A = this chain, B = another copy of it.
Amino acid sequence: MPSKFNILLISCLLTSFSSFATQHFAIAIHGGAGTISPSTVSADKIKLYEAKLKQATDAGYAILERGGSSLDAVNTAVNILENSELFNAGKGAVYTFDGMHELDASIMDGRTREAGAVASVKHIKNPINLARLVMTDSVHVMLSGSGAEEFALQKGMELVPNRYFDTISRYQSLQKAKEKIRKLESASSTASAFRANYVELDNEYKMGTVGAVALDKQGNLAAATSTGGMTAKRYGRIGDSPVIGAGTWADNESCAVSATGHGEFFIRYNVAADICAKVKYQKKSIEKASNEVIFGPMHKAGGTGGVIVIDNKGNIALTYNTVGMYRASRKQGEDAKVAIFAD
């Protein structure tokens, strides 16, 4: 018969093992969703996308592996995507109707529910870094426009000229989008007719975002999202990316989400927080919760896009109702999985 001591020892070892076993770490990232298919993207470009997605995932993974925080992991992964021309965020940001670039970003710490966001900044190379500074160094959550840049300067951040974000391919997209919008406007006699016709505008002009979610060894979740917004956007439009609850959400009790898609719908359906509410209140898996939100009433209303989700056990869901989504993930002890088109 086992002695009391042995029982204690076994029990203690089992507890330690179980506690160790649940401390999975993992990361997932996205580079936007849309009508991405082998017919719309060249084979060479696909390789570039895949390599950059892998690089960002591995960089975030390395931070988690050496015991770093999920906040550092998502921040670093997003920086790599922001610094690439391939994605609509940072360097690759699309143009506004007036030929400028206005960037949005947000970040959230699942441990404390602290959050930071910036909207419509024009001279910030890595908007996610400024969003993080808002979270850690300001008494606010959301700063916008030149005021956000004043804060950046006070914190010693260097500004870049708006033309830093100029790229030929995005400029060409702007011209095409403006031409289509003008045609829609002249074909629409009323505001509601324009709204109805606007649905026809290619979804590519309405989307494009980068984001990351991660779980670290300490069991903390984090999420980050960064974007150049909608091509040819006007009127100081703010999409879902800097809206906590819509484009970004992280709560250790449930999950972390970064979204990409037609932002107006993602705001109206509170997408990121709603997925985690289903996990928290209905005890649904992130797979089921994200399917219900991404393919539910929002989709029926016309909302397209996707999300990356991670829960506090390291499960990952990559869910989208578009043709494809630039995405990658890496779980503890595994290699990075990179994908662009449908499974």
Contact = CB atoms under 8 A, between A and B. Distances in A.
Q: Is the interface of A mostly helix, strand, loop or mixed?
A: mixed
A215 to B, nearest CB: 20
Say how many copies of this protein the assembly contains.
2
A147 B235 contact: yes
A119 B144 contact: yes
Contact of A264 (B139, B146, B239): B139
Nearest to A181: B139
Contacts of A147: 234-237
Contacts of A141: 263-264, 267-268
Interface residues of A, number: 54
A88 to B, nearest CB: 17
Nearest to A234: B147
A148 interface: yes
B264 A140 contact: yes
A145 B148 CA distance: 13
A238 B120 contact: no
Nearest to A133: B191
Interface in A252-271: 263-264, 267-270
21 contacts: A119-B119, A119-B144, A120-B145, A136-B191, A136-B192, A139-B198, A141-B264, A141-B267, A142-B243, A144-B144, A144-B236, A150-B234, A150-B235, A155-B191, A243-B245, A244-B270, A245-B267, A270-B273, A273-B274, A278-B281, A281-B281
